[in-house]
Structure 1
Amino acid sequence: MPLETALLTADDAMTKAVEYAIHEFSAVRTGKASPALVENVDIHVHSYGSTMKLKQLAMISTPEPRLIRIEPFDGATLKDIERGINSSNIGLNPSVEGKVIRLPVPELSTERRQQMVKTIKGMAEEARVRVRSVRRDTIEELKKLQKAGTITEDDLHRSEKEVQTMTDKKIAEIDQHVASKEKEITTV
């Protein structure tokens, strides 16, 4: 049973690494408006005396391809949200219109698009490293099981191949998401 547990744990950890990379990719601006660009911005709300994510404070929508609309649940947090977006370094300038904040998303230059592609590739490499790290740890665990006599040498070799197949599959999945995000960024 420990063999199956080790393999399931490895698969779960690799899947989480891929999901984290996909989540990170969604926060990279592509020239199109997306709620993911701002939903995790930390906003310090003075009236509440705490820091919260923007998605907890407001409804975020994209009524137009180049516009993000933020409507606070509590009107008193409007200035805090505006201040938080300005200090977040996401490169968007909020404009307050009544009880709504509008964030126009500017067109990206070719140079900026190339920088973003490099950023995406760097994030992807970090994800690949995480997946490979899980592989290394799992293989070490399998070798310990074999030394302890819990599994046979054949089980060890079979499991190592299975872990490698799992790793190759997850890395291919990351590469696929990178290619799709790169295409999204470079499409004008």
Structure 2
Amino acid sequence: MNEEIQFILDTAKEAMDNAIVHLEKRLANIRAGKASPSMVSGVMVDYYGSPTPLNQVANVNTPDGMTISIQPWEKTLIPEIERGIHMANLGFNPMNNGESVIINVPPLTEERRRELSKQAKAEAEESKVGVRNDRKTAMNEIKKVDASEDMKSNAEIDIQEMTDSYVTKIDQILGSKEKEIMTV
């Protein structure tokens, strides 16, 4: 097979892999009932004037399935951590005991589960669009390659099969996340 075509196929595969990795990261931030440190992974804290990720200024852990405990390395950061959690708009109400910030994660209502399920579907759809855009880019590149028409059409078939397999993989990831969200 033509080296250029193989390069285009490899590039498309890498881009589609990235779409899957991105989807998994986004879905990890959607909570499914039990507490997890990843729920606060997007929280930024004002650390001496510069926005800093929460996990770089504190230890975040879950002592049980319904509590997130945030132990700052400097006690003066407690109000900043609370402000960062409010600013991240996660729907949590942080409390502090002077030593650490504690977040009680309430059990999900049926309505909230449906909302989170819709959010997960939207993330999956966004990933599918990304995969399809990667396919379109690869198809356009194939058309520009100096190769026989048979090679080009075979490469286009390969790209379409790759796209279909990635869309199926996205659907499987979404299915397992929806099941996790809807399980009480």
TM-score where L is the length of structure 2: 0.95
Match of 1:178 in 2: 174
Query: What's 2:148 paired with?
Result: 152
- What amino acid sits opposite 2:168 in the alignment? A
Q: How does 1:51-62 map to 2 (within 5 A)?
A: 51-62=51-62
CA RMSD of the aligned region, Å?
A: 1.0
Q: Which residue pairs with 1:115 in the alignment?
A: 115
Report what 1:89 is aligned to: 89
CA distance in 1, matches of 2:138, 2:4: 12
Provide the secondary structure at the position in 2 that maps to 1:140. helix
Partner of 1:43: 45
Is the 2:42–2:88 contact (alpha carbons within 8 Å) kept by the matching residues of 1?
no
1:153 and 1:118 map into 2 onto residues whose CA distance is: 43
- Decide whether the 8 Å contact of 1:11 with 1:166 is kept in 2: yes
Structure 1: 5+ residue runs without aligned partners? none
Instruction: Return the alpha-carbon distance in structure 1 between the equivalents of residues 99 and 117 of structure 2.
Output: 36
SS in 2 for 1:114: helix
Partner of 2:130: 130
**How big is each residue's C-alpha offset from its partner over 1:73-102, in whole Å with a ceiling of 9 and x where there is no partner?**
222212111111122210011111232111
Corresponding pairs, count: 182
Counterpart amino acid of 1:18? I
1:33 maps to 35
Query: Could you tell me how far apart the structure 2 residues matched to 1:36 and 1:173 are?
Result: 23
- After TM superposition, give the deviation of residue 70 of structure 1 in Å: 0.8
Verify the 8 A CA contact 1:39 1:60 in the aligned structure 2. no
Partner Cα distance (2:33, 2:92) in 1: 11
Q: How does 1:70-85 map to 2 (within 5 A)?
A: 70-85=70-85
Any gaps of 5 or more consecutive residues in structure 2?
Answer: none
Q: How far apart in 1 are the matches of 2:87 and 2:126?
A: 27
Say if 2:167 is the partner of 1:167: no
CA contact (8 A) 1:113 1:185 kept: yes
Which one-letter code corresponds to 1:134 in the other structure? D
**In structure 1, what is the Cα distance between the partners aligned to 2:9 and 2:74?**
47
TM-score by length of 1: 0.93
Moved more, 34-43 or 71-80: 71-80
Structure 1: which amino acid aligns with 2:61?
A: S
Contact 2:93 2:103 in 1 (8 A): yes
**Rounded Cα–Cα distance in structure 2 between residues aligned with 1:13 and 1:70:** 35
Q: Distance in 2 between matches of 1:152 and 1:75?
A: 68
